[in-house]
Structure 1
Amino acid sequence: ETQFAENIDLNYFPYGWNEKGFDDSGWITPFISSVPYPMFYNLNQQITPTVSFEKFYPEKIVRKGKGHYLLDFGQEICGNTTVTASGKKGQVITIWHGEELDEDNKSARHNMRCGCDYEETITLSGNVKSDKAEFFDFKAFRYIEVFNFPGNFTKKSIYVNHRHYPIPKNHAVFETDNTLFEKIWKMCEKGIIEGTQESYIDCPTREKGAFLGDGLITGLSHLCYTNDERIMKKFLYDCISSARLCPGLFSTTVTYDASQMIDYSLVFPIVLNKYFEYTNDIKMIKDSLNVLEGIISYYAKFYEPEGILGHIKHVHRDQYTVLVDWPVVYRDGYDDDTIKDANCFGNLAYLGILKETIKAYSYTDNELRVKELTDKATQLEQAIINAFYDYDTGLFNISRTSSYHNFHDAVFALYFELNLPKGHKPLLDYIKQRGVVCGVYFTYYYFSVLYRYKEYDKIFDLMISDERNSWKTMLNTGATTCIEAWHPDDKSNCSLCHPWSSTPMIFNDIFYGISSYGVGYRKLQFKPRMPKQLNSGKYTKPTPLSDITVSFERKGNKVIYHLTLKKACRIFVYLSDKEKGHFIDAPVGITEFVQVLD
């Protein structure tokens, strides 16, 4: 946990310290330590730009009494608060920050659900015309409540230095005839802006941790929104750095936490391959190969004689070594006892690590290592089937001693394309029938499987669902940024800004069908797969080749697409699953495509 209270006493503040001519003669003189570590530092150029700051003023101010005000910024924001006030020496102003209002719906909830208690004080010096207090730590909140503020309070008395990773002016923009889906997209958009700082962080309140699981969803959403691959590259190198301490990788990067989970170790090669497909950065792949080998070797030590992984027991922190999903209410039958023995999900995650590593090696044309790892993956796949497959139902049991069929196991078996005795249909029917029983993070894997099997309408139905486990539930709670769980009550310390729930942004991007043909965006692919529930829409996104706008409209049995380019491109057009597709040379401006429906 990173939150701490800042009770600022301006009587001790060195006004003018950041201006030329400041007299620092009273400051302690720095000295060189006699301790010989570290002997030297290497200063390297940072991969990413520094975060952006802009002043953000409250949308609404309610006077509740003398010196007592409630400020509403209109949405959850992340930043550092600045307070300017003129008062007597020793006067104490109390400041509350809250993500939401308290139960009375009148006061800022400073004692937040997420565990932060943002009740802080400012003691005025009275020595200057206006005291100015700048909070050091960044917070995430929507409301500020002020007590005992002296004199006249104006809109500029309190503002926030709104901070986030820089967003380009040509970021993605979306509009559609489906009002609910547009609201969901915008909620996710705000989530990835506030939750992407120096890295992809889980939340800008409680932990501020760069978790690998969050990096998968936030990273892909942020990439299609900004076309800025630099922060994804930094994320990958941060993962690599943690391999120095644990070959299996820590579950968080650039933070103190030393937890390890096999399903988060899996995220590294998945994001690596997604990054390469976008950038064609072969150096990143080559820099990662030793790390991938380390992950494989690290988990291989947990093999049992049957050829499957047994109890995965980490050195640094033996807790949730197989996460499955989060919070715990979404794990669908997995409990602590199950993950402390050989279990289906942990083995499927390891199989995924092998298969994603094979893909990475294939980009380097290392056919020998591809074959070796393919043989290893084939053996593990058969061992998983022998240990956990239910031949009667065509589903998987969560362990060797349980006959419970878990949703996540079914999704992973399909995501990693296991060659199953009864094929994919029993598993696909099962996950379609169960719907969203998983958490927000795992919907990425779920929807990816549904997309592979051409269930476009099903994905959209789930994204705009009225069920409790839905993004509509988030909106109904008043969320302005996507949150950590489907409902705040699902997790005792739920944060109300958690961009790992931004999967709808990823799949909206996929529906509109603009991607790279092959790797590295040397050519474009236009493969729209618009759900039948949408009648019209417009999506503009930046890509390495050109900013692109796709608009569409349904007319009778036709879908008419307009593709607008700022730069002429060669495009592979693939309007339907029933056609093979073809190349065209698309000019600058608008190109029309007509899809005739059955």
Structure 2
Amino acid sequence: MKLKLLLIALPFLVLQTEMVFSQSTDENINWDKAKWIGYTKDSRPEKWSARGVMRNQPPMNINTWEPTEAELKMTPRKTHPSVLLRKAFTLEKDIASAEVVICGLGLYELHLNGKKVGDRVLDPAQTSYEKQAFFVRHNVTSLLKKNNSLGVMLGNGFYGQNMAFSPGLSYGKPRAIMVLDIAFQDGTTKQVVTDESWKAHSSPILFDNVYHGETYDARKEIKNWSNYSYNDTSWDAVELMKAPTTNLIEQELEPMRKVRKVNPTAILQAEKGWIIDLGQNMTGWLQINVEEKEGTAIKMRFSEHLMPDKRNIDPASTGIHVVGNTQTDIYICKGDGEETWEPRFTYHGFRYVQIEGLTKNPSLNQFAGWLVRTDVERIGSFECSNEQINKFYEVSMWTIEDNLQGLLSDCPHRERCAWMGDAYVVAEAASYNFDLKRLWQKTSNDTKTVVGKSKAHFKDPFPYDSRAPANISVGKRMCLQARPDWGAATVMIPWFSYVYYGDKKIVEDAWNMMEGWMGYLDEKVQEEGIINGGFGDWCPPGGNPNMDTAPALTSTALYYQTLVAMKKIAVILDKESLAKTYDQKAILVKNAFNAKFLNKETNSYGSQTGNVFALYSGLVPKKKSQLVADNLAQLIMEKNKGYYTTGIFGHRPLYTVLNDFGHSNITKHLWKITDFPSLGFVTQTHGLTTWPEHIANWNKQERYHRNSFNHPMNSGFAASFHESLGGIRPNENHPGFQKFYLKPTFLEGLEWCEVSHKSPQGEIKSYWKNDKGTIAWSITIPENATALVQLPMYTSKQIKLNKKRVKENSFELTSGEYVIKIK
């Protein structure tokens, strides 16, 4: 009998074809007199303002790097010029308060009286600029004097990005709008705004592109350009520019900052110049300190790897075949002694820097790497007695940090895009360790900007739909309409944010978009409960040709996850009738999923990912769950000889599922081995410090392949360190850890394990030690929180709470500190 999926015509599914955005501009800001200004005169020398871009972007061959003849043909292309804008003014009264609100696109630096204001970098965050742009506030009360001068330096950022991929990705030339509101002590006020009275000049930045790098000519620096005393009579008048959007919104997301200094570990002699080894694959830039003659050009090229001869960098994995060239910064010296420089309007993903142009042998103290990311708070920690497992956690955190760039990027060098499937996979691991409440809100808001904006994906049989977002959640490079698995993030990112941070606002704000996406799937994508399409279990060991799980299985499982989440969100938002509808659909999809994919004789869904993702999604019939988990163990240890075959969907829950069903010995094995394919093969055998896009058998290759070596989607499994080894798990019915579970796995071979998570209720701690077979487990439950302790592998007779026996192996604890002993 064919299973028909129940479809009910919901009023919310006939929304307008284009999302409507609420005007979030602060009512207290009067923008009426402010105008968008810029400066388009371009007097830069061609030598420095243009760089070659590969003419063609042929399909990627992951096994080789050598560029084709087509790739080698370069076409010179210029960036839009970076400019300086200034305005002098006088104040005659005593100041009570003063605040600047500014939107500088693509990126800006604000100066006042000769000094940069604040410590933000790469400001503001990227968004879809035709839909919205962010303004930023700066309190400048203490910086104002009687005589003042405002200065703004503009760079291209993603707004003016016209080099990588296609010139058509550029929204236009740099521009800014600004209001300085001043309140005097006598109760009067004054405004200074951007308008025709401002002056403009070219800046010392001769080239800036977020992908390709920056060229800075220190000889063209204008001393005191943002001081009141500077004579700007030779400067030109600014140009009035078209507003990129009517929707100016305050950036609530934490700013980008230089969060950590990374000292280089070695300097190697290169074929040309020297190679600086930072010892860590990172995102940010290199700060240099040099002393050279005037006009000396210091060229810095960035990569993740070295060539086999160790005398040249190998930039293949940073995407030169798709973005068009190598990440390169150039500093032209002014020649007046020691000069210290770092870029303003670009960033790089790199470990190695090949530097040319120095006339003296360099020393390590001349260089410093800066890790640059969105300055979110670190709220999680993990450490255990096994250094290899600690390394897995450290590598996972570095990879996530490197990609917190005003959004969660897929990699920090090649694409720098907010791919939705990547966000889904890593969301929980990232949320355990970083306060991403604002970042997930921005992600969901960004997703609204690409709804209905992209053509249907050519690999799917599904039509264009005005309710569907794109595969990439922000900007012009959308890579077609979201495929059904990647699009699950439309629902799951708001849901995860609600669960981990208690953020009801995000699901309220996203409701119409989420319901539109679900309506599209219900009406045009699913067929009898099954979704036949999607990217699938992306990047298993060896690459996508080794994918052993049908995309229909993972896409349908994700469809089920979103239906379950929508049911729960509908309850939260008091939409009871819709909750019932989503619940009925979920039941029908679950039945269809098992009818199609479950082999009842072998208790298997056909692959490691099939089994683990079905268990993780709650799709396995309860009486079959242990049998499916046992089959998963058999598939790993017998069929695949002790190695995992999972891609990003299957690998995310692999170890937690193994541990929960009594197969922690397999987790121990998988975390111990160091040959291909394994986590240890990445970190121990090859010494990599961030997770690559996929694991290949690099032992058989002379060089690393072209794929990225800094992909946070492969940090998704790191959620297991908190949820499984530490046992700290959220309770969906009591979000933000008001109530939560404590269900640890005391992994055999570990002497101790210590985990913490700073929840909205306070810090949760879980520390256990294995002393000759007796577990001593110390836990801290914050105020206004309750924990449900679950120890299903033990009987109540084995458990003592604060030296007293418990009645059951599952019990609740209120806030406080406890010691649980288990024999």
The answer for the alignment partner of 2:645 in structure 1 is 437
The answer for the alignment partner of 1:499 in structure 2 is 712
CA-CA distance at 1:560 after TM superposition: 0.3
The residue correspondences of 1:385-424 to structure 2 (distance < 5 A) are 385-388=594-597, 390=599, 393-396=602-605, 405-418=606-619, 423-424=624-625
Q: Is residue 332–residue 438 contact of structure 1 (8 Å, CA) maintained in 2?
A: no
The residue correspondences of 1:58-77 to structure 2 (distance < 5 A) are 58-62=263-267, 64=269, 68-77=273-282
Change (3 A) 1:162 1:328: closer
The residue correspondences of 1:264-283 to structure 2 (distance < 5 A) are 264-283=486-505
Equivalent-residue separation in structure 2 for 1:547 and 1:43 (angstroms): 36
CA-CA distance at 1:455 after TM superposition: 3.8
Question: Amino acid of the residue matched to residue 458 of structure 1?
Answer: I
- Are 2:588 and 1:379 aligned? yes
The answer for the alignment partner of 1:44 in structure 2 is 249
The residue correspondences of 1:501-580 to structure 2 (distance < 5 A) are 501-510=714-723, 511-516=725-730, 518-564=734-780, 570-577=786-793, 578=795, 579-580=808-809
- Are 2:322 and 1:109 aligned? no
1:81 is aligned, of 283, 286, 289, to: 286
- Are 2:366 and 1:157 aligned? yes
Q: Per-residue CA shift, 1:464-500, capped at 9, x if unaligned?
A: 4445232111112121122222247599422222222
Equivalent-residue separation in structure 2 for 1:167 and 1:202 (angstroms): 18
- Are 2:472 and 1:258 aligned? no
Equivalent-residue separation in structure 1 for 2:589 and 2:364 (angstroms): 63
Equivalent-residue separation in structure 1 for 2:382 and 2:588 (angstroms): 45
The answer for the alignment partner of 1:242 in structure 2 is 450
CA-CA distance at 1:215 after TM superposition: 1.6
The answer for the alignment partner of 2:301 in structure 1 is 96
Equivalent-residue separation in structure 2 for 1:583 and 1:388 (angstroms): 38
Question: Amino acid of the residue matched to residue 514 of structure 1?
Answer: I
Question: Amino acid of the residue matched to residue 746 of structure 2?
Answer: M
Question: Amino acid of the residue matched to residue 412 of structure 1?
Answer: F
**SS, match of residue 240 in structure 2:** coil
- Are 2:351 and 1:142 aligned? yes
Size of the aligned set, in residue pairs, is 569
CA-CA distance at 1:19 after TM superposition: 5.5
Change (3 A) 1:58 1:26: farther
Equivalent-residue separation in structure 2 for 1:53 and 1:528 (angstroms): 36
Q: Per-residue CA shift, 1:257-292, capped at 9, x if unaligned?
A: 323221111233233322212233223222222222
- Are 2:199 and 1:199 aligned? no
Q: Per-residue CA shift, 1:137-163, capped at 9, x if unaligned?
A: 100111222222135744453333431
- Are 2:806 and 1:592 aligned? no
2:561 is aligned, of 348, 352, 358, to: 352
The answer for the alignment partner of 2:91 in structure 1 is none
Q: Given the two structures, how large is their TM-score scaled by the length of structure 1?
A: 0.83
**SS, match of residue 591 in structure 1:** strand
Deviates more, 1:500-509 or 1:201-210: 500-509
Change (3 A) 1:304 1:349: closer
**SS, match of residue 299 in structure 2:** strand
Equivalent-residue separation in structure 2 for 1:522 and 1:138 (angstroms): 39
Coordinate RMSD, CA, aligned? 3.6
Q: Per-residue CA shift, 1:94-138, capped at 9, x if unaligned?
A: 322221222113433344464475364636354644555543310
CA-CA distance at 1:195 after TM superposition: 1.9
CA-CA distance at 1:504 after TM superposition: 4.5
Equivalent-residue separation in structure 1 for 2:714 and 2:332 (angstroms): 42
The answer for the alignment partner of 1:399 in structure 2 is none
Question: Amino acid of the residue matched to residue 288 of structure 1?
Answer: A
Equivalent-residue separation in structure 2 for 1:395 and 1:549 (angstroms): 37
Identify unmatched segments of 5+ residues in structure 2. Answer: 1-164, 166-209, 454-465, 637-643, 796-807
Equivalent-residue separation in structure 1 for 2:769 and 2:672 (angstroms): 20
RCO higher in 1 or 2 (8 Å CA, sep ≥ 6)? 1
Q: Is residue 542–residue 697 contact of structure 2 (8 Å, CA) maintained in 1?
A: no
**SS, match of residue 409 in structure 1:** helix
Q: Is residue 252–residue 258 contact of structure 1 (8 Å, CA) maintained in 2?
A: yes
Equivalent-residue separation in structure 2 for 1:385 and 1:462 (angstroms): 28
Deviates more, 1:456-465 or 1:221-230: 456-465
Q: Per-residue CA shift, 1:483-529, capped at 9, x if unaligned?
A: 22224759942222222222343111012123445322224543323
Change (3 A) 1:265 1:446: farther
Change (3 A) 1:464 1:283: same
Identity of aligned residues (%): 18
Question: Amino acid of the residue matched to residue 722 of structure 2?
Answer: D
Deviates more, 1:486-495 or 1:508-517: 486-495
Equivalent-residue separation in structure 2 for 1:306 and 1:525 (angstroms): 36
CA-CA distance at 1:50 after TM superposition: 0.1
Question: Amino acid of the residue matched to residue 374 of structure 2?
Answer: Y
1:29 is aligned, of 232, 237, 250, to: 237
Q: Given the two structures, how large is their TM-score scaled by the length of structure 2?
A: 0.62
Change (3 A) 1:545 1:173: same
Change (3 A) 1:164 1:293: same
**Which is greater in Rg?**
2
Please identify which structure carries the higher strand content: 2
**SS, match of residue 239 in structure 2:** coil
Change (3 A) 1:118 1:26: farther
Equivalent-residue separation in structure 1 for 2:527 and 2:690 (angstroms): 48
CA-CA distance at 1:216 after TM superposition: 2.7
Q: Is residue 303–residue 309 contact of structure 1 (8 Å, CA) maintained in 2?
A: yes
**SS, match of residue 507 in structure 2:** helix
The answer for the alignment partner of 2:537 in structure 1 is 324
